[in-house]
Structure 1
Amino acid sequence: MKLPIVAYGDPILKRVAKDIEPAFPNLKELIADMYETMYAARGVGLAAPQVGQSIRLFVVDATPFDEDEPELKNFKKVFINAHIVEESGEEWPFNEGCLSIPDIREDIYRNSNIRISYYDENWVHHEDSFKGLAARVIQHEYDHTDGKLFTDHLSPLRKRLIQKKLNDISKGIVKAEYKMKFPAVKKGR
């Protein structure tokens, strides 16, 4: 089932998400719904806070980047209770966007390498290292579970320059090709 994506301005996107237990209700269905929602919106990652759940869960499928980095072919993963252990390597820019912030893209600097501890969808624990675009996609989604958005990485000046667009998104003044939930739009209108 496709879920509505929470838009910029909703307080859930700024909240640090909670770890969950294996008995979390309907987890398999939530993961399946998140993948369906992500694919329908043409994203490469989606975090639970973006669908209204303040839990440490995100899904990624970086396969669309496999032309740039062939090792990303079939790079599809679920991250539960993820915690970045180490970020290293040179910071490099990449033009990022976000399903919760449609129509805005900005160059964001992130470390090129990460080491992350997490559980997969079968509750098998992993501590893996990722680099390049895989690390970037994971860092972007991980930020969501820490209550951060890619716009939080912008300089104060750059953020001021796009503030009207951000405010418009929270009011629903944006065109998205997927269902969204806007914090500043009253129900029943």
Structure 2
Amino acid sequence: MGELLSILQLGNPVLRQKASLIENINDENLQKLIDDLMTTVVQANGVGIAAPQVAQSCRLFIVASRPNPRYPNAPQMEPSAMINPKIIAHSTEIVEGWEGCLCVPGIRGLVPRYQAIEVEYTDRNGKLQKQELSDFVARIFQHEYDHLDGIIFLDRLKDTLDIITEQEYKKQILQTVHST
């Protein structure tokens, strides 16, 4: 079990830096960071977290989709550490979906993302992985991938009118989902 890490907030300069490539996957500090990120994402009710969000500017993130209070309809999956990830192909179809971020508490935005992507990354054991992701899990990957390039989800909005508070999101959006 990892340690709970502090999550940076919007405005911290580390969140706007391009993260560096990871050279040594077997480094014990990297393996500890993976464990700590896994613990932190669960404790924070997130579905993903990137190393820059905890002040570690390296190309690593966790995708950990599961239903939780912030994302009650998220699909269940085994949390995965993705080291030096890349998007190698994507669909032409772009879909808008509501996103939040652990670095921007209390705010959601309607973000356009590719509906499906093909990705490549190295897992924590040093094995190269290729996967096709779609829908919500593809959205998580793209959101976390942006963090590695210093991009926050708010940068992707088409319009500032596409911003909503977490409170209104729960009232308007989640209730619409539950009443249909």
How would you bin the TM-score normalised by the shorter chain?
0.7 to 0.9
Structure 1 equivalent of residue 12 of structure 2: 10
**TM-score, normalised relative to structure 1:** 0.77
Quick one: which amino acid aligns to residue 120 of structure 2?
S
Which of 78, 90, 95 is matched with 1:92 structurally? 95
- CA displacement, residues 33-61 of structure 1 (integer Å, 9 cap, x when unaligned): 11111111110100000000110000011
Which deviates further from its counterpart, 108-117 or 73-82? Answer: 73-82
Partners of 1:137 and 1:55 in 2: CA distance: 18
Cα displacement (A) at 1:93: 1.2
1:114 equivalent to 2:117? Answer yes
Structure 1: segments with no counterpart, 5+ residues: 166-189
Structure 2 equivalent of residue 152 of structure 1: 155
Which deviates further from its counterpart, 109-118 or 73-82? Answer: 73-82
1:78 equivalent to 2:77? Answer no
Return the structure number with greater relative CO, CA threshold 8 A, min gap 6.
1
Cα displacement (A) at 1:75: 3.5
The DSSP-based 3-state class of the residue aligned with 2:119 is strand
Which of 53, 57, 78 is matched with 1:54 structurally? 57
Quick one: which amino acid aligns to residue 90 of structure 1?
E
Which deviates further from its counterpart, 95-104 or 73-82? Answer: 73-82
Quick one: which amino acid aligns to residue 137 of structure 1?
I
Identity between Structure 1 and Structure 2 (%) = 38
Quick one: which amino acid aligns to residue 6 of structure 2?
P
Q: Residues 38 and 79 of structure 2 are in contact (CA less than 8 Å); yes or no, is this contact kept in structure 1?
A: no
Q: Residues 65 and 77 of structure 2 are in contact (CA less than 8 Å); yes or no, is this contact kept in structure 1?
A: yes
Partners of 1:36 and 1:67 in 2: CA distance: 19
